[in-house]
Structure 1
Amino acid sequence: MLLVRKSYALPAFFFTFLIYLLFTTLPPGAEVSYSKHNSGHDIIGSAKDDRIHWTKPAEQYPIADYISLPTTSPCPIPQIQYDFPSESWYARIWRQRKQNAVKKAFNHAWKGYKNNAWLRDELSPVSGGSRTSFAGWAATLVDSLDSLIIMGLMDDFEEALQALEYIDFSTTESIQINVFETNIRYLGGLLGAHDLTDGKYPILLKKATEIADFLYGSFDTSNRMPQSRWEWTRSAEGLRIRPSGNTILAELGSLNLEFTRMSQLTGNPKYFDAIQRIQDNLELAQKNTQIPGLWPMLVDAHSMRFTDTRYTVGGMADSTYEYLPKEYMLLGARTQQYRRMYESAIKPIKERLLFRPMTKDGKDILFSGNINAASWSSQKIIEPQAEHLKCFLGGTVGIGAKVFNRSEELSIARKLTDGCIWAYDIMPTGIMPENLYLSPCEDMQDCQWDEQKWYRDVRSRPPKHANIAETDAAARVLIETLHIFPDVTEIADARYMLRPEAIESVFIMYRITGEKKYQDAAWRMFKNIEKTTRTKYAHAAINDVRNLKPVHLDYMESFWLAETLKYFYLIFSEADLISLDEYVLNTEAHPFKRPS
């Protein structure tokens, strides 16, 4: 009997091991290191049965007649990209070496995410853990899909597609959904990958439809304006929601491209209807705000009042303006509405927001500041804040100059882009901070360096130093204490968050002008960023761009892979890869196919 028992021991062991494998195997691509760096949370797809799921409840305020995509004949859109000549073999080798360096950095960060935070929103690049930041639907994975395609990493892309099956967009543990961020990262990421692969992978449009239908629930309000921080469980339970009285402008005005593309691909007009109602309201109010042509940072989306006095094209407003020429292109110029809105906005941007900073070397560059309408009429004071988020503006003005035949504004686009390059170059690390304040020129055409004016501006800039003695000596002490250098009056936020806006405009201006100086600037920027932010697991935000050995902060937002490294890769690619005459890039750098 003992011999018989021994003869069954080995098969029994293998049978038990097989059962174990069948019921414990992780989703495709999840590696053993995943469990080491995460604190025991359930993998997506194994949610408890008692969680609320979105099942398209009956609408509280249904639409009787949808606004359809425009069907008028398209107008011709001028060419955006420069006609690049054939490059020499020598130039091609050096360009490809730089491109491969960017791809190597991407692979390092992607591997870190895949091995340590797979199917989580973000990798924590210092500790090797993970963060839930956007509803827990694997933001980095979805946001990076088209980057994988563009860089030719198709094995990784196929693996990510398998993992996509495990993401359940019908439920989340998040109480509120940030509609804007979900739209640009998730929906944009799926649509971009779909368009780049010509619809070869049905799961991409299937998942895009799931997330679009989910987000559509946020529009079910009395005036059909979305609740931007959506209490989605109320909607799921059949309760009413209302738009916020303090809605961020960018979160209201930057849903156009993604929802328009959904209607174009599915033939369902409800998506375009949803965003077109917003744009009609914005156009109606545009010339009646306190600064006609611009919208304030905050909007009462319930009553559609625009009473906030703060105006900017930076954070909280940026992509509303960015999307005007891009929506015009995505619609094939079949409506002039977005041209009108852009032309109404660009005039006060030039007249009210742009300023030239005083620099020791007399550089003719531009930045966009902020204004408060409450004091503008009497004091005409611009807040000379240069902000990394505002660095998108050079590219947007460049595109607007081309597609709307406003060639005189191409020089403004150059100066805005050159300003952000300059802000990188003057920092010890070669990286621009989140925001800094500059000394504005009194004369935009003739601006000589004035040491005393710089001292005055330094003394007056930080409110907490309002009582400082009005002497040059006191200003010099303040400059040394706050680590300020010439041309700058204050560095209000010295972090670098792995942001893409500067390289975005550098890339666009290179594709528009063909000028190699933009490639050279991009290479300087990339080398400094990669060296300074690299960690064992990936790349990390840093605490202070003035410090040659800054502290790494334990977060890496999904836009590092979706945008920043994509733009660095594309500026060293062949010019026909994601041509600006064939694609529109959303504010998360996801390419949507333009109508032919």
Structure 2
Amino acid sequence: MAGLRGNVAEARLISFPLSTVALTPSSPSLAHLNVSSILDFHSISLLSLYASQESPLLSAMAVRLAAGGDTSTQDGFNYPTSWWQVSMWLTFAPDLTPRNAATFTRVRHVLHASSGDSREPERGGPRKWQSDPHLASPIFEQEKGEKHGKGEKEGPGATQDGAFPRSWLANFSQEELLLSQAFADYWQEEAVSAMQHSWRGYKLFAWGHDELLPLSKKHKDWIGAGVTLIDSLSTLWLMGLHEEFRQGEAWVRQYLDLDKAGRGSVFEITIRLLAGLLSAHALSGSRVFLDKAKDLGMRLLQGFVTPAGFFLREIVLGNGTAVLDTEAPILSEQGSIQLEMRYLSYLTKDNRFQRAADRALRAIRKAAEASEVHLLPCRLSKTDPPLFSGYKISMSSESDSYYEYLLKQYIQTNETEQHFLDGWVSAVRDMFEYLTSETKVSRLLFLFEVEGPARHFFHHHLTCFVPGMVLLGVHVLEKDHNRQLWSGMNVTAAELARWRSQAHGLARTCYHMYARSPTGVGPEFVRLKPEMEMEDKEDLTYPARGAHYLLRPEAVESLYYLHYFTGDPRYRVWGAAMLQAILTHCKTDVAFAALEAVTEVPPKRLDQMESFWTAETLKYFFMLFAQPTHPDAASGPQTGWLDLSKWVLTTEAHPFPILQNFSRAPFV
């Protein structure tokens, strides 16, 4: 028993092949367990639970679940008891208890209070141990008839009988959610510590520059405007790191001089710098961020010079000169600046920004008029009328955020511009029909690329944003005031239920990208095999040219949305596994570094730390583990819990408020 528990502690949250574990049964019962060839976190938790033998009830659950009995999901366990798996890792992980004694005590109390009861925990309803002070939590009582937003109670954020949203309590008991939160508290602290470590390294070796080089301890500039600093501000604010935020604010006020800025991508400048400044203003109310954002926006307008209405790809910010080029406009770039430009127009009452962005989007729609499907090629022409250039269709690079912004523009405009929702629904429907496949062995649902008649069975890390986007869209469609639109879009409840299931399936594949790699870190892309050949041993493989990891956020981004709308503890468990692997392999003495190949142990680190590491990846980890708060709580977004009925996240994860009174220059 001691040997098994030692292996569990050593393995921690990282998935690993069965052959690496010395499974020496400590009792006859353990010998007959039908353990799969890959032990993921859930299996490790169950085995540690069984080996502990501290509770007959828990041991019985472990035997049944680890043996594959009475299960109904692809993940191999029955979700009415999935919370035990979460709690067991927290309870038996030796390095947690010294750092979080209060959490440990609370979890142990729940376990021992319930271990004498042979019945399965009930859903909802009161528990005899709820009065224990260790389990005390704020009760969010909501008066009858109280409304949120457009006449209905929103899901997450609106709570009923405890500290958790109604939609969570519909599927998980208070005790399950308390244990999930106790588990999450530790990992949220880890995310904050990682952010503080990254910020200190940036401040020490790259202050005011665009990027930190985490191995050489030098800096890199691609435009010369403090990109990492500005991109990090909203994360610092949400994490409550207000001293660090004020340091960044002081630099912006004193040293951000756009007259000295160089040449860069209009798209990247918009999503990182402009969005970062606007979000910092929205969260803090500081005027300096808005003033700088307007200055930046005026310079970006000089790039919108093509006859079709597209912007040129690069601009010299210092003098506002667009760089002439022959490259074809990219779908994701031209269609993913609209949130930022619309919000800037809203704040400044200057419609030029929104009009420029809308003109680019109209050009895309004009080119799409002849298309029979709503999935568009990645490249366009600069001619008027514009045409599509090339035949590559995907949900990955050069396309991804175009579809994301169709949905989020509908949300940003307070769900008043229905054409955005119409376009998004049609695109997602076509995506599931034309771009999805599933492996036969592991039943991994994935998105592939199409280029002319060829299909490329690669699932990219960038496409891992899709599950979260889909579930966000399903939530929007299921609001009462949007149900009346279903008939016009041919939407049915059955279709939305399928989309929910498919969103989970895609997220599961993204988790497997991490869990099956030797390091536990996910690569840039994997190859999936829908049809296995005789010589094939795995249906998910790691091509050498896609084995690198750039500290990308998309996988945890989707886990955040899936957990936000469901409260399912498994998404936090998956996220913790991913974060643990990243902390183990990417952390340097000053910050965090990208990896050359996640297939090598130990992996070789790259002298690179993109700003989206602090802007997105760490923010999504932090929010995944955040404690829910009442939508009317005074602390608001400072707690890390964003009420998505009031906020929308940009493609760089910068929170913008939903424009509740949107009426300015609607899209034409």
Change beyond 3 A, Cα 1:241–1:428: closer
1:330-368 alpha-carbon deviations (Å, 9 max, x no partner): 001111110121122112211111111233xx33x3211
1:324 shift after superposition: 0.8
Give the match for residue 568 of structure 2: 515
Q: Structure 2: where are the runs of 5+ without partners? A: 1-148, 157-164, 479-490, 630-640, 661-668
User: Structure 2 vs 1, CA of residues 178 and 167 (structure 1 numbering), >3 Å: closer, same or farther?
Assistant: farther
State the secondary structure of the residue aligned to 1:171.
helix
Pair 1:348–1:78, CA change in 2 (3 A): farther
Aligned to 2:309: 224
* Alignment partner of 1:527 is 2:580: yes
Match of 1:179 among 246, 266, 290: 266
TM-score (norm 2): 0.67
Encode CA deviations 1:262-295: one digit per residue, 9 max, x unaligned: 1121211111111111222222333423x62122
Q: Distance in 1 between matches of 2:218 and 2:542?
A: 38
CA contact (8 A) 2:464 2:507 kept: yes
> Which amino acid in structure 2 is aligned with residue 349 of structure 1?
M
Q: Give me the TM-score of the superposition, normalised by structure 1.
A: 0.74
1:269 maps to 351
Q: Is the 8 A contact 1:77 1:329 kept in 2?
A: no
Aligned residue number for residue 417 of structure 1: 507
Distance 1:161 1:173 in 2: 18
Q: Deviations over 1:531-570 (max 9, x none)?
A: 1000011000011101121111001000111100110011
SS in 1 for 2:526: strand
CA contact (8 A) 2:261 2:317 kept: no
Give unpaired runs (5+ residues) of structure 1: 1-73, 376-380, 442-449, 456-478, 480-484
Q: 1:134-176 CA deviation, whole Å, 9 max, x = no partner?
A: x1100010000011111111111111111112444533463x4
Q: 1:402 aligns with which of 462, 469, 475?
A: 475
Q: Which has the higher contact order (CA 8 A, sep 6+)?
A: 1
- The residue type paired with residue 145 of structure 1 is L
Instruction: Give the deviation of 1:417 after TM superposition.
Output: 1.0
What are the equivalent positions in structure 2 for 1:281-360 lying under 5 Å apart? Answer: 281-289=363-371, 292-303=373-384, 304-359=386-441
Shift of 1:75: 7.1
Residue-by-residue CA offset, 1:555-591 (whole Å, 9 max, x unaligned): 1000111100110011111234112222110011000
The CA distance in 2 between the partners of 1:266 and 1:514, in whole Å, is: 38
Residues of 2 paired with 1:549 and 1:132: CA distance?
Answer: 29
Displacement of 1:322? 0.8
Question: Which residue is equivalent to 1:438?
Answer: 528
- Aligned-partner Cα distance in 2 for 1:124–1:106: 16
2:202 is equivalent to residue 113 of structure 1? yes
1:594 has 2:658 as partner? yes
Structure 2 match to 1:47: none
Match of 1:553 in 2: 606
1:312–1:369 contact (8 Å) kept in structure 2: yes
CA 1:109–1:186 in 2, change beyond 3 Å: closer, same or farther? same
Q: 1:292 to 1:451 in 2, by over 3 A?
A: closer
Aligned-pair distance for 1:297? Answer: 1.2
User: What is aligned with 1:96?
Assistant: 185
1:584 aligned partner, one-letter code = V
Q: CA deviation at 1:429?
A: 0.7
What SS is found at the alignment partner of 1:355?
Answer: strand
Distance 1:513 1:286, change over 3 A: farther
C-alpha contact 2:542 2:599 (8 A) present in aligned 1: no
State how far apart, in whole Å, the 2-side matches of 1:243 and 1:578 are.
Answer: 40
Q: Does 1:123 align with 2:187?
A: no
Structure 1: distance between partners of 2:572 and 2:462: 21
- When structure 1 is superposed on structure 2, of 563-572 and 220-229 the one drifting more is 220-229
Match of 2:297 in 1: 212
C-alpha RMSD over aligned residues: 2.3
Task: Indicate conservation of the 8 Å contact 1:221/1:242, yes or no.
Answer: no
- Corresponding residue of 1:372: 451
Q: Which amino acid aligns with 1:281?
A: A
CA deviation vs aligned residue, 1:488-514 (integer Å, no higher than 9, x gap)? 274431100000000000111110111
The aligned amino acid for 1:580 is L
Residues of 2 paired with 1:260 and 1:242: CA distance? 25
Q: Render the CA deviation track for 1:69-106: whole Å, top value 9, x for unaligned.
A: xxxxx977984636345667665443222111111111
Q: Is the 8 A contact 1:254 1:323 kept in 2?
A: yes
State the Cα deviation string for residues 214-261 of structure 1 (Å, max 9, x = none): 11111144443211223567854xxx8767551121111101110111
Report how many aligned residue pairs link the two structures: 469
1:584: which partner in 2?
Answer: 648
